Structure 1
Amino acid sequence: MGKIRVGFGFDVHRLVEGRELWLGGIRLEHSMGLLGHSDADVLIHAICDALLGAANMRDIGYHFPDTGEEFRDIDSKILLRKTVELIGTKGYRVGNVDATVCAERPKLKPHIPAMQVCLAEVMGIDADDVSVKATTTEKLGFTGREEGISAYATVLIES
């Protein structure tokens, strides 16, 4: 049996008017979107950080700096694909992903199956190996006030 490792990722982006809302690689209809150098997909960014951490390869900002013009408004699915390729250079592949998105609105439950399929396709794994959960913060904190959205991800990688 090969080596297995786990990683944890976390990301936050501010909600603002005039931006599209991208979560888990899919566009959601909402009055606000996430602010960031890329498309600001917090779920994908948390997964990328978890994968990089599991492989002991620093973090998303190290590999895809927000000072890099080549990453301005980039589709985060490209960053996820590149992250999977990066961990592959150390002999790792994605085993499974377990992620949670914290947002008051929009309601994410109806979109979760599409997110799972999209993320699995990008990472080259089975949709059954991608768990996405949604929660609110019961109107508490910055997510509760709808100032932003946060995401957490735990991953297992194997060699």
Structure 2
Amino acid sequence: MFRIGNGIDYHKLAEGRDLILGGVKIPHTKGCLGHSDADVLLHAICDALLGALSLGDIGKHFPDTSSEFKDIDSKILLKRSIELVWERGYEVVNVDANLVLEKPKIKPYVEAMQTTIAAIIGVNKEDVSLKATTAEQLGFIGREEGVMANAVALLKKK
């Protein structure tokens, strides 16, 4: 039996924050603003995994009102999300994700992100597809005020 889930997340960009995408710290003048480390890509993947099994969203499991999750590494949130998937007898077939941001270019970091994500969710690096695009200078993303990620996860019963 197969299940598919979709996740999407947005974060503001702010000076004085680290830019962490896909579990990788990327040099930039701005980073994502949020309660956790604000890794928009991992948050979208968490939502895709949770959504595939109708488990709610990242906010249900890791609320931004809880001090437990203040500044938490989103790799921990992804690990906890995949554990919920495994507990229900499912495994990941593949993940396909997109980042939308103007700067910086993420191509030099894609392989490291794939490796990081794959190791956490228990798949091969080739089973994690990551793409990026700009907003062509349109809207809040185009003005470099924010970033967006979406992800799709395909799960199968073990």
* TM bucket normalised to smaller: over 0.9
Residue in 1 aligned with 2:9?
Answer: 11
Which amino acid counterpart does residue 134 of structure 1 have in structure 2? A
Q: Which runs of 4+ in 1 moved over 4 A?
A: none
Which amino acid counterpart does residue 140 of structure 1 have in structure 2? L
Q: Give the fraction of aligned pairs with identical amino acids, expressed as a percent.
A: 57
Which amino acid counterpart does residue 116 of structure 1 have in structure 2? Q
Equivalent residue for 1:22, pick from 20, 23, 45: 20
SS of residue matched to 1:98: strand
TM-score (norm 2): 0.98
Shift of 1:131: 0.2
Residue in 2 aligned with 1:48?
Answer: 46
Which amino acid counterpart does residue 52 of structure 1 have in structure 2? L
Deviations 1:57-84 (A, max 9, x none): 0000000000111100000000000000
Gaps of at least 5 residues in structure 1 are none
Q: Is the 8 A contact 1:8 1:152 kept in 2?
A: yes
Residue in 2 aligned with 1:38?
Answer: 36
Q: Give me the whole-angstrom Cα distance separating, in 1, the residues matched to 2:118 and 2:102.
A: 25
Q: How many residues align?
A: 157
Equivalent residue for 1:112, pick from 92, 110, 113: 110
Shift of 1:89: 1.8
Shift of 1:124: 1.4
Q: Give me the whole-angstrom Cα distance separating, in 2, the residues matched to 1:86 and 1:72.
A: 21
Residue in 2 aligned with 1:84?
Answer: 82
TM-score (norm 1): 0.97
| Counterpart check, 1:134 vs 2:132 | yes
Equivalent residue for 2:97, pick from 94, 99, 114: 99
Gaps of at least 5 residues in structure 2 are none
